[in-house]
Amino acid sequence: MTKLKLVYFDIDGARGEAARLAMVIGKAPFEDDRVKFADWGNRKSGTPFGALPVLERDGQTVAQSNGINRYVGKLAELYPADAWQAALCDEAMDAVEEIATRVWSTMRLPEAEKKAQRESLAAGPLSHSLDHLQRRLVAHGGQYFADGRLTIADLKVFVWIRHLRSGDLDHVPVDLADRVAPRLVEHYERVKSHPAIKAYYAERKVAL
Ligand SMILES: N[C@@H](CCC(=O)N[C@@H](CS)C(=O)NCC(=O)O)C(=O)O
């Protein structure tokens, strides 16, 4: 039997989380290898691009979060079979990845610079990205991003909106998504209420 291992940091969010959720929802058995930050220095050079997530399948590896998302989305039946719907699913995932990369690239900046850059992102590109994502959701019926049902794209957006509303991102207003993109917050609540997601976070004792 094929063995899957998802290697990601020991956090319940960010780039590895949508793949974890997809495998939980799809009941695809996998090993959840949670790397402690203290151990990362020893493991980094063993990864394809010096970064996580990495998915291992029978000892072989694949990196890049959205590629992993597509693969596990297919396994979990959370990726559209129709090529156009698949493109819409990819669009939402890539849109999140694009803005998240900009926001997270400020992580190690000196405090004053981080503050300036994050405030500027929040007022400009991050707000625009939320607005655009919301418009795409509405254009596709308002419930889900593609295929008229829950797909891996919804999981990626869910994880992003949760992060933005968590208060973990200093200098980004915690109510930004609520103010700029209330339909995305409704979408977040919709995904959050999925029974498998509720059960998963309850078991992990993660408050949503
Ligand atoms: N394009 C990559 C980016 C991966 C990435 O930057 N991952 C971060 C964690 S979210 C990481 O591994 N940071 C540690 C490091 O770069 O040393 C992807 O989408 O997977």
Multiple choice CATH, 4-77+198-204, 3.40.190.10, 3.40.640.10, 3.40.30.10, 3.40.50.920: 3.40.30.10
Ligand 1 interacting residues, C-beta cut-off 6 A: 14-15, 44, 51-53, 64-65, 97
Which of 15, 40, 94, 107 is the pocket-test mutation for ligand 1 (most atoms within 8 Å of CB)? 15
Domain ranges of the chain: 4-77+198-204, 83-193
Residue 208: per-residue pLDDT: 87
Amino acid at the residue 81: A
Residue that has been written with the tokens 């609520």 in this structure: 178
pLDDT in tens, 90-120: 999 999 999 999 999 999 999 999 999 999 9
pLDDT in tens, 148-171: 999 999 999 999 999 999 999 999
Predicted TM-score of the model (pTM): 0.98
